[in-house]
Structure 1
Amino acid sequence: METRQRSLVKALIWNLIGLSVMVFVGYLATGSFAMGGSIAVVNTLIGVAMYVVYERFWARIRWGRHV
């Protein structure tokens, strides 16, 4: 089991990597870093929100857990 702080740092770093990749992909798709950045920020916010919902959903499922 890892600490909450470690989990938070890992999640933040992972999201920063994803945000950077999305800015680049958005730039390639639109030719604009501003538009690419906007797309990346929206994508990251939606992704974080959906991940929280996903995790809460799975927290209620007992299948596959060892107590």
Structure 2
Amino acid sequence: MDTHSRSFAKALSWRVTGTVDTIIISLIVTGSIKLAAAIGVTEVITKSLLYYFHERAWLKIPYGRKTTAV
């Protein structure tokens, strides 16, 4: 089971990852309204993939995990 601090750290690190993703996409795509919508659609796909890999990476980090006695 994850602790609250681990869940918070994961949420924070995910938001940073998502923000960096958005910045990179925004630099590639200009700031028009139509292209802003394109960024939103693109984000749905890229952030879903990034989240999957982010979660898989966190499985390897022991920070904040509680072990249960059997």
TM over 0.5: yes
Answer yes or no: is 1:34 the counterpart of 2:50: no
Percent of counterpart pairs with the same letter? 9
Q: RCO greater where, 1 or 2, for CA within 8 Å and sep 6 or more?
A: 2
Q: How many residues align?
A: 56
Alignment CA distance shift 1:45-1:38 (3 Å): same
Q: What runs of 5+ residues in structure 1 fail to find an aligned partner?
A: 59-67
Cα root mean square deviation, aligned = 2.6
TM-score by length of 2: 0.54
Gap runs ≥5 in structure 2: 61-70
Q: Quick one: which amino acid aligns to residue 18 of structure 2?
A: L
1:65 corresponds in structure 2 to none
How high is the TM-score relative to the length of structure 1? 0.56
